[in-house]
């Protein structure tokens, strides 16, 4: 069994799964932080209500953002070619994401330093930007990935990216961005319904039910677009050495309409993954209406897991297709680090990831409880 787990091909698949886990962890944890920020003008009318919403995420947002760093680090260490192409090709988009995320800690720290309404409104808008823009851009990135990214390799494996920022903002990618924004906003509403009290929670529940339905509809609509072949698709043709060298020039990939549905035809049980995305969002909508806060948040998280996992399951083994040179697309089996690197990283992950999860669980347990106006306005309050 251990020999199998440490086989090169198996290590590549394991790290593909772990990358998916890290991305889902980021979307579920930091997702509700961003969702709360994006919803701030819609769920809070007064300064006190806005402080209630902000303080539901204030104590935990920094820890949640670690998942983003872990995901980027995993791509850098386990999939260097993917890191080089995605972070350089999407450089301007990533710059917008990072600039937006940088606004969040500054806004958290500075909005309550002065009492002027204009000062606080400006920092509140920074929180909105810091929540909505990353959610939108991440979805746009996924939409472009599904369509293929314009890149190729030279004979010495030097990657060349040929796209532009405006090229990323195409209709199909913007559709995915809108779906991502709806999903993250739904999750933020579920968190506010769970953690806030009073008018903020009530407004979040009403808005969250609509956002959950929108998420389900947009995700299902995306599946229809894939079925119609509008997103295209890429598939490995012939055979590929699963334990061969990490060289994207040693295999063949062809474009094919509806190729992203191929894995579901070969393994029908995989349909449970997108079904979970739709079912989670619909159950969240029911939970919002029934005021079942805990069940609603869990359903929202399951929906996010299903939606994010659907992208990986649909594309496997391709992880970054090339629209200009399909044969040079990156796959799970030709874009990874060396066998020894993957093995060493896996051992470190097995040791340290449970510690991170245990500490995170302890933090949430200690900080559990609802946030109401009394905690914000009470004497000696240290709220944001």
Comparison of pLDDT for 379 and 126, the residue scoring more: 126
Mean pLDDT value across residues 263-279: 96
- Identify the pLDDT of residue 9: 92
Task: With a cut of 60, say whether residue 246 has pLDDT above it.
Answer: yes
- Please check whether residue 163 lies inside any domain of the structure: yes
HEC readout, the chain: CHHHHCCHHHHHHHHHHHHHHHHHHHHHHHHHHHHHHHHHHHHCCCHHHHHHHHHHHCCCHHHHHHHHHHHHHHHHHHCHHHHHHHHHHCHHHHHHHHHHHHHHHHHHHHCCCCCCHHHHHHHHHHHHHHHHHHHHHHHHHHHHHHHCECEEECCCCCEEECCCHHHHCCHHHHHHHHHHHHHHHHHHHHHHHHHECCHHHHHHHHHHHHHHHHHHHHHHHHHHHHHCCCCCCEEEECCCCCCCCCCCCCCEEEECCCHHHHHHHHCHHHHHHHHHHHHHHHHHHHHHHHCCHHHHHHHHHHHHHHHHHHHHHHHCCEEECECCCHHHCEECCCCCCCHHHHHHHHHHHHHHHHHHHHHHHHHHHHCCCCECHHHHHCCCCCCC
- Identify the pLDDT of residue 179: 97
- Please check whether residue 383 lies inside any domain of the structure: no
Task: With a cut of 70, say whether residue 378 has pLDDT above it.
Answer: no
- Please check whether residue 93 lies inside any domain of the structure: yes
Task: With a cut of 80, say whether residue 345 has pLDDT above it.
Answer: yes
* Structural domain that includes position 171: 10-367
Query: Which pTM value belongs to this model?
Result: 0.93
Task: Supply the mean pLDDT for the chain.
Answer: 90
- Please check whether residue 378 lies inside any domain of the structure: no
Number of domains in the chain: 1
- Identify the pLDDT of residue 84: 86
- Please check whether residue 205 lies inside any domain of the structure: yes
- Please check whether residue 35 lies inside any domain of the structure: yes
- Identify the pLDDT of residue 383: 65
Task: With a cut of 80, say whether residue 376 has pLDDT above it.
Answer: no
Task: With a cut of 90, say whether residue 181 has pLDDT above it.
Answer: yes
- Please check whether residue 384 lies inside any domain of the structure: no
Mean pLDDT value across residues 314-332: 93
Task: With a cut of 70, say whether residue 381 has pLDDT above it.
Answer: no
Task: With a cut of 90, say whether residue 195 has pLDDT above it.
Answer: yes
- Please check whether residue 375 lies inside any domain of the structure: no
- Identify the pLDDT of residue 203: 95
């Amino acid at each position: 069994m251990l020999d199998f787990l440490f086989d090169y091909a198996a290590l590549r698949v394991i790290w593909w799964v772990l990358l998916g886990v890290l991305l889902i962890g980021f979307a579920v944890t930091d997702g509700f932080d961003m969702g709360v920020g994006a919803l701030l003008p819609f769920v809070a009318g007064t300064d006190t209500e806005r402080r209630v919403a902000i303080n539901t995420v204030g104590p935990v947002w920094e820890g949640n953002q670690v998942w983003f760093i872990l995901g980027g680090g995993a791509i850098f260490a386990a999939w260097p070619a993917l890191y080089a192409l995605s972070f350089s090709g999407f450089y301007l988009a990533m710059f917008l994401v990072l600039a937006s995320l940088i606004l969040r800690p500054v806004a958290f720290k500075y909005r309550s330093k002065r009492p002027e309404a204009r000062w606080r409104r400006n920092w509140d808008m920074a929180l909105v930007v810091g929540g909505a823009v990353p959610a939108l851009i991440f979805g746009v990135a996924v939409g472009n990935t599904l369509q293929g990214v314009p890149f190729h390799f030279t004979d010495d494996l030097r990657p060349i990216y040929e796209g532009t920022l405006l090229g990323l903002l195409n209709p199909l990618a913007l559709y995915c961005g809108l779906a991502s924004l709806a999903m993250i906003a739904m999750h933020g509403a579920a968190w506010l319904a769970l953690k806030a009290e009073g008018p903020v929670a009530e407004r979040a529940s009403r808005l969250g039910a609509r956002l959950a339905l929108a998420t389900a509809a947009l995700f299902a609509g995306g599946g229809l677009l894939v079925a119609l072949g509008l997103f295209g698709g890429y598939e490995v043709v012939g055979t590929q050495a699963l334990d061969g060298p990490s060289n994207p020039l040693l295999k063949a990939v062809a474009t094919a309409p509806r190729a992203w549905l191929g894995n579901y035809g070969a393994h029908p049980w995989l349909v449970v993954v997108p079904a979970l995305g739709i079912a989670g969002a619909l159950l969240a909508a029911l939970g919002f209406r029934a005021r079942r806060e805990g069940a609603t948040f869990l359903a929202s998280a399951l929906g996010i897991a299903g939606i994010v996992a659907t992208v990986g399951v649909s594309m496997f083994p391709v992880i970054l297709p090339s629209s200009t040179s399909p044969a040079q697309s990156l796959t799970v089996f030709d874009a990874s680090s060396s066998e020894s690197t993957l093995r060493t990283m896996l051992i470190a992950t097995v040791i340290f990831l449970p510690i991170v999860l245990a500490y995170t669980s302890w933090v949430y347990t200690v900080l559990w409880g609802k946030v109401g106006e009394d905690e914000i306005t009470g004497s000696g309050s240290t709220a944001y």
